[in-house]
A and B are shown apart, each in its own frame.
Chain A
């Protein structure tokens, strides 16, 4: 009859020739432990590289946005000079003021570059919104009248001068039409309208500014 000690011994004996996997051998374990130290150094170098790259991207992005801004300004000026029809924007003075602020901000030292980038992005966003407002309030002028596009749905004609008497408000028959743009050519007012991605031009006879007459599409 077997006693407990015998069985325990047999179990131990049965385990004697068990082969331990290569990966668990002490020399391989030591190799796995050593790279940790190296990888720590590598990690430190990598983090430094990443920080440097991030800095480059930030500074680069800032420089690019500034260049874009100044080139946009130049092209805007060029456009302004070449336009024969007088086009003005209702909120231009406010915009100019913001530009001034921005220019002043650009004069800050380099430690504040990041903040400036963020603020500049915010200003750009605001400018975008404002531009949308400009379009809404787009005003064309000729010698005696102003033609104001209201909410892309109506065009208001009013006399220039101190009283600014409203002559007429033109609204396309189809209220779903979105007025993209207006043009005035003598006694003709053209509306570039869109509906479901289809564009068309509506022409109005405005020889009598008080009673505009729809001519054709």
Chain B
């Protein structure tokens, strides 16, 4: 069904229309939260809160804005708040992204490399990868210069490449 029609129905209170919209992006929402926060429970909580907030505020969704961009913006704000909370505790969660269920060493190395990045770098990369935001959009949301976003992203990817080279996966 057309997204605009689904949004229209969701605004009227149709929970099924809302869940259809959510169904197209929920995996990316969870991945985004998990890769940013590194903690499965926090990621689940953040996505859950985001969905409830989105449902409560669906009327505030502007016509020209896509549902995906809108709900990702809510989620990225929640993840940022959670990251700030981690920092205020002066210690970050000493966790690594969960290992894959199957024996996929390569994926595991990539996740480990990703989890070793700075919190804000993880957020920037997640927004780009799972949220589909451009550097310019990320800059607006995080109140950063576009160039800063791009350079941070580049530096983060370089670090990951270095780690993966060390594991023999980057050749």
Contacts and interface: CB of A to CB of B under 8 A. Distances in A.
A13 interface: yes
A37 B13 contact: yes
Contact of B15 (A17, A21, A24, A33): A33
Interface stretch (B62-70, B78-86, B100-108, B140-148): B100-108
B9 interface: no
A20 B31 CA distance: 8
Contacts of A32: 52
Nearest to A13: B107
Contacts of A34: 15
A7 B128 CA distance: 13
B157 A29 contact: no
Interface string B21-55: 01100110111001100001000100110011001
Say what secondary structure dominates the interface of chain A. helix
Contacts of B102: 17
Nearest to A16: B107
Contacts, number: 89
Given A2-B161, A15-B130, A29-B51, A20 B27 contact: yes
Interface in A22-63: 23-27, 29-30, 32-34, 37
A96 interface: no
B19 A26 contact: yes
A83 interface: no
A94 interface: no
Nearest to A30: B19
Interface size range on B against A: 35 or more
A26 B170 contact: no
Given A10-B106, A11-B129, A34-B15, A20 B35 contact: no
A163 interface: no
Contacts of B164: 2, 7, 10
Nearest to A35: B15
B72 interface: no
A14 to B, nearest CB: 4
Contacts of A29: 19, 22, 26, 51
A15 to B, nearest CB: 4
A104 interface: no
B54 to A, nearest CB: 10
13 contacts: A2-B161, A2-B164, A10-B110, A10-B164, A13-B107, A15-B35, A17-B102, A20-B30, A21-B40, A26-B20, A32-B52, A33-B55, A37-B15
Given A10-B164, A20-B27, A26-B19, 14 more contacts: A1-B170, A8-B129, A11-B110, A13-B110, A17-B100, A18-B98, A20-B30, A21-B40, A24-B29, A29-B51, A30-B15, A30-B19, A37-B13, A37-B15
Interface of A: 1-2, 4, 7-8, 10-15, 17-21, 23-27, 29-30, 32-34, 37
